[in-house]
Structure 1
Amino acid sequence: MANTHNQFLKFEQAISLTLPRKNKLIASRQALQRRIIEYFKTKTTLPVPKFYIQGSYKMKTMVVKKDGSYDVDLGVYFLTKPSVEPITLQKYVADAVKDQTVSGIEHRDKCIRVIYKGDFDIDLPVYYKTLYDKHPFLATKTKWQESDPKELCDWFEKQRKEKDKGGQLLRLVKYFKAWAGQRNKRMPSGIAFSIWVATYYKANLRDDIAFYETAKAIRNSFFWETISRNPATPGDDFLAKLDYTQKSNFKEAFNVLIRDAEEALQQDSQLKASNIWLQQFGDKFPII
């Protein structure tokens, strides 16, 4: 049985942010925070918001995409209920950051996206949470929607601490996200894979075997329906935006992944096994 554990470790390094890119991201995030603070101090009568890094950066599962880019979520939090409509509050945040980059912004339904073309995007979801609210409320273009990304991050961290002390669970999430990013058809989101891995994680001394066993456990959960349920508020399905055909395409590709993983593990040399993994993970997966 070919052992490609070390190749997996090298692959994890290849798809992770380098220190210079992390530093650039931190500087960009801080610049956005300063702009937003200054805008609300000088151009509105609303209170100055607080900020919370969330999503894959907070979970330590961020990967660089196939095109070399990546996304970051920076939550903008108001500690009193704003006196304006949610879309108006989004527009204030958009106005504050619209000139931060040459590529500008996108006003999406649930966030303002600041585009650093060819590098990364920073998404700015806007929330409020008063002392009397159990969970935050997210601003969308049409309404306030109860949503608690911190609760989700806390759930994920609890799962990780209970099940894994050596960082393997985090690495597996990155492998699955990188695999999905190599597919030509629409796949589940990174957060969907994060929930699946945290729920169905199968530990092993080797990452290649852990990946294979965890993939099988995830597939077994699809017996009745293919979902990735948010364990935090609002309890939505992270696959809700995938239609029947897209889910079928995913399950077919996932079956091929598991088949190829089993074949790779059965090879009599690292070179043969690595070439099989390469077909699933792309050219960042090392052959030697």
Structure 2
Amino acid sequence: MSLYRSAVWFAKGLREYTKSGYESAAKDFVPDDLEVQVPGRAFLVTGGNSGIGKATATEIAKRGGTVHLVCRDQERAEGAKAEIIRESGNQNIFLHIVDLSDPKKIWKFAEDFKQEHKLNVLVNNAGCMVNKRELTEDRLEKNFATNTLGVYILTIALIPVLEKEHDPRVITVSSGGMLVQKLNINDLQSERTAFDGTMVYAQNKRQQVVLTEHWARAHPTIHFSSMHPGWVDTPGVQRSMPGFYSRLKDRLRSAAQGADTVLWLALTPAATAQRSGCFFQDRKPVPTHLPLARTSSSLAEEEKLMEILEELAHRFK
């Protein structure tokens, strides 16, 4: 990562990604955009047991939506489900235990899900930031397996069921950290350079933005979006970025503030008035590159990423 990108990004972050950045942006929000009810619509939220995912699931449940939580840990997921039901009064909360770093289990889950449920909105929220290079049982680097390949498989597996429904949407929770990364298709599993978990995560988040743009072109009947929730106080941030958290904890957004744009993209008619494939921050589409940062990729590089992911995904089907 260049010093220029780092400096520009951090200055931007302090101005826009913090709690005060949210409060400033919120002055321009349309007040009643989220005053919607969605009974009869089905939402799948990955990583729905804590942080942004749980806040998103709870607010959807309050508005009458059917919510499918996809989580890894049974005990924590059961606790979250009970809390969401208690807080929303909505009993239509379903739990699915899936390790999103395991391609075979994702395929199996998606095939079973399609037989039993409808789906209007997929929220790819679950993320992973492992700070030491760690391999899954399938010999995949864990951040890549979860953040990129897992998101790819879950999304392409569920596109057929989404396409059957009215107003289908896919929202992927990316990160502003992707702005410091140029797409790198030559080292997707972080084998060739010194391992930096934060930068690997940022690269995965860049990959998610590229995926979103590709899917928007390939599947015009579905509204695709990626988004940056801002710098949010979540258990994941506390665990994976302790230094960052300790320096900025008083300035971080709440989980509810982080979930605001996810909800806006998932629920409102205003969201689908925006072009499919955009990257959003605080309810607005924003650029996917910093000025003069040289992070743009070629169409050939992006197509190569899709080829690699397709090959990997079907290897585990």
What TM-score results when the alignment is normalised by the length of structure 1? Answer: 0.24
Looking at CA atoms only, which structure, 1 or 2, has the larger radius of gyration? 1
What TM-score results when the alignment is normalised by the length of structure 2? Answer: 0.22
